[in-house]
Chain A
C-alpha cells in the first residue's frame, strides 16, 4: 500500500512521540510507583459501622509526622469533619462509602480518588504548606451533592 512520503514522516513522528510518552508514563508508574489509587480491599457497604477501622472513623496519629485518616462518606457528608494536623505531616487517607459512589478531592492538591461502596480506596499526601484545605465530593451522589465537603486545617 502506497503512503505519501510526507504522511509517512508525519505518522512516523507521531508514533515515535507516542512511544516516548508511553515509556515515560510506564517508568513513572512501575519504576517510581506513581500509580493511580487502585486499592483492592473489600468491605460490606451495609456493615461499614461494624467493620474495623471504620467503626471508629477519625484522625489517628501514628507517629510524629504521620497520621491515618479513616473516613466514611455518605450522602451528603464526610465523617470526620474538620481535622487538624501539623505542617509537614503525611496523612494516609482510607475512605469508603455507606451508600452510593462519591468522589474525594482535596482542592488544589493532587489528592483525588473515587469512593465506591463495597471498596476501600486509599491515597497518601504530605501537607507541606499551612492553611485550610477543602475536601469536596466530586462525583454526583444526589440532590445534596454540592453540599458535601469537609476541611483539614494544617497548622504550624
Chain B
C-alpha cells in the first residue's frame, strides 16, 4: 500500500464514508471560509439590488440607510469580503488536495487568520451600517471615516497575512520533504496568488496605518492625498489579479478534467502565473491617469507596463481553447469547430466558468481601453468603468466561483451534487448571465454617453442632456433584480449541498498534464529571484514618482466627513 492510498484509507475511516482528497480537519477550515463568504454574498447582493432600485427611483431611500451607505456596503461585501473569504477557502482546498493533510501548526494558524478576518468584517460592517464610514471601498482621502472602520480593515488584512503565512509554511514544508520535485500545479498557483496578495496589501496597509488611521484618530490633522491614492492603487490593481488568479487556477487545472481533457502545459501555466506576479504591480497609475501631481511621462511608463499583463492573459486564452479542442477531438469531434459541440454544457461545473470565460473576452478588451493613456479620458469615472468591473469580477470571477462551489461545497461536506441541484445550477447560471448582460451593457453604453459612476438617485434628471440616461437605469434595475434572484437560487442550492444532499463522495476534479507537454523548468521554483524581480519592477515604476510626490507635496489637506 503506497502513501497516498494509505492516506485515503485513513480519511475513509475518519469520516465513515468514501474518501475524498481532503481530510476532515482541512475540509472544516475551508468550509468555514466558504460559508461565511456566502453570507457576504447575500448582504452585498441585497445592497446591490437596493442600489439599482433606489437609483432608478422604483423605491425611495430606505429609512436611515442612504444610497452611499448601500454603495459602500455593496462594494466592501462583494469586492473584498466575499472574494477574499471564498478565495482563501478555495486555496486551502487546493492545498489540501495537493498536500493531503496539513500539519497541526499551519492548520491552527489558518483558523487564527479566519477569526481575525471575521472580527475585521464585523467591525467594518458595523461602522458602514451605522453611517460612520461612507467612504466607499476606495477610501477617497481626505474623506474621514470612523477609526473603528480603519481598525477593522487592518484586523482583516492582518488575518489574511496570518493565513497566507500558514500557506507559505505548508509549501516550504512540502518543498523540504520533496527535494528537487515540483510541488503540484495547484499548490504552485495558490502560493503565487497569496504571494501577490501579501505584496499588494503592503500598499493599502501603509496608507491606512500611516495616513488614514492617524488622521481619523486626530493624531495628525492633515493628509497627503496623492500619496494616499497612489498607495491605494498600488494595491487596487494587483487586487484585481488576486480575484482573477484563483479563477484561472480553476480554468487551468479543474476545467480540463471536467471536459474530459488534460492540462495543455504545466510549464506554460506556471509561467503565466509568474508573469502575473511580475506585471500586476507596476501599474497603479493607470487608475490615476487624469490626476494632477503625477507627470504624464510616468503615467505613460506605467501604461506600457500595464499592457504587459496582456501577454499572460493571451497565454491563458490559448491554453483554455487548446484544452477544449484537444478534449473535443479525443471524443470524436471533427472539423475546425466540431469540438464546440462536445463540451459538457449541461454540467454546471463547466457551464458557469465557461460563461465566465466568454464574459472575460469583452472585459479584457474594455480593460485595455480603460488603461490606455488617452482613451481613458472618454470613459474615466463614468458608468462604463462600473460595467467593466461587473463583467470582470462580477461575471468572469463570480461565475467561476459559482461553478466551483457546486462541487467544492458538497466535497467539503462529504455530500454529492445531485442531478436536480445541477439543474438548479444551470438555471442559476442562465439567470446570472441574463441579468449581467442587461446591467453591464446598460452601464457601458450610458457610460459612453457621459453618465458618471457612483452617483445617487435622480441626479441631474431635470437636465435635458441626461434624459437619455434614464432607460439605461431601468435596464440596470431589471438586470440587478435578475442577478439578485440568481443569488437567492445559488444560496438555496448551496444550503442543500451543504446540509441536505445525499452523503457520498464528490470528486475533486484535477486534470493531468498532456503527455506531449514539455518538462517544467526548475527556475520557476526560484522564489528569491522572482520576489527580487517583483520588487525591482515596483521600485522602477514607483520610486521617482513617489519621490516627486513627497518632494513637491502640497500643504496637506484636512480630513472631512461629508455624509
User: Which A residues have a C-beta under 8 Å from some C-beta of B?
Assistant: 1-4, 6-7, 10-11, 14-15, 18, 21-22, 25-26, 28-30, 34-46, 75, 99-101, 103, 105, 107-108, 110, 112-121, 132-134, 136-147, 149
Contact = CB atoms under 8 A, between A and B. Distances in A.
A83 B529 CA distance: 58
A103 B290 CA distance: 9
B128 to A, nearest CB: 14
Contacts of B526: none
B499 interface: no
Given A35-B296, A100-B562, A2 B465 contact: no
Contact of B318 (A11, A40, A44, A120): A11
B465 A36 contact: no
B552 A40 contact: yes
A10 B317 CA distance: 10
Contact of A134 (B376, B465, B552): B465
A117 to B, nearest CB: 4
28 contacts: A21-B307, A22-B304, A22-B307, A25-B374, A26-B300, A36-B377, A44-B555, A45-B555, A101-B142, A101-B225, A103-B381, A105-B381, A105-B450, A108-B465, A112-B378, A114-B288, A115-B292, A116-B291, A117-B225, A117-B554, A118-B553, A136-B452, A141-B140, A141-B143, A145-B454, A145-B455, A147-B459, A149-B463
Contacts of A11: 311, 314-315, 318
Nearest to B265: A4
Contacts of A36: 289-290, 296, 299, 373-374, 376-377
B465 A145 contact: no
B292 A108 contact: no
State which size class the interface on B falls in: 35 or more
Given A29-B296, A38-B292, A118-B224, 20 more contacts: A7-B268, A18-B308, A25-B300, A40-B292, A75-B560, A100-B143, A105-B380, A105-B452, A108-B449, A116-B226, A116-B293, A117-B557, A119-B292, A134-B465, A138-B453, A139-B454, A140-B136, A143-B134, A143-B562, A146-B456
Nearest to A118: B554
Nearest to B314: A14
Interface in B299-317: 299-300, 303-304, 307-308, 310-311, 314-315
B367 interface: no
B452 A2 contact: no
B373 A29 contact: yes
Nearest to A43: B554
B463 to A, nearest CB: 5
B292 A7 contact: no
B290 A112 contact: yes
Interface string B264-284: 110110000000000000000
B362 interface: no
Contacts of A30: 300
B90 to A, nearest CB: 27
B550 interface: no
Contacts of A10: 314, 318
A116 B308 CA distance: 29
A34 B374 contact: yes
A118 B142 CA distance: 11
Contacts of A26: 300
A54 B294 CA distance: 22
B406 to A, nearest CB: 31
Contacts of B66: 143
B322 interface: yes
Given A10-B314, A39-B292, A138-B382, A18 B562 contact: no
Contacts of B458: 146
A37 B380 CA distance: 12
Interface in B42-81: 66, 68, 71
Contacts of A139: 140, 381, 454
Contacts of B140: 100-101, 139-141
A42 B557 CA distance: 12
B68 A143 contact: yes
A8 B490 CA distance: 40
A121 B136 CA distance: 24
Contacts of A1: 267, 518, 521
Contacts of A42: 293, 552-555
Nearest to B562: A142
Contact of A100 (B134, B142, B290): B142
A9 to B, nearest CB: 10
A142 B560 contact: yes
Interface in B352-378: 372-374, 376-378
Contact of A141 (B304, B311, B521, B562): B562
A139 B562 CA distance: 13
A40 B562 CA distance: 27
A87 B553 CA distance: 39
Interface in B71-130: 71
A107 B300 CA distance: 25
A3 B377 CA distance: 39
Contact of A40 (B295, B311, B374, B521): B295
Contacts of B372: 25
Interface string B538-560: 00000000000000111111101
B189 to A, nearest CB: 18
Q: Which of A10, A110, A120, A140 has the most CB of B within 10 A?
A: A140
B291 A114 contact: yes
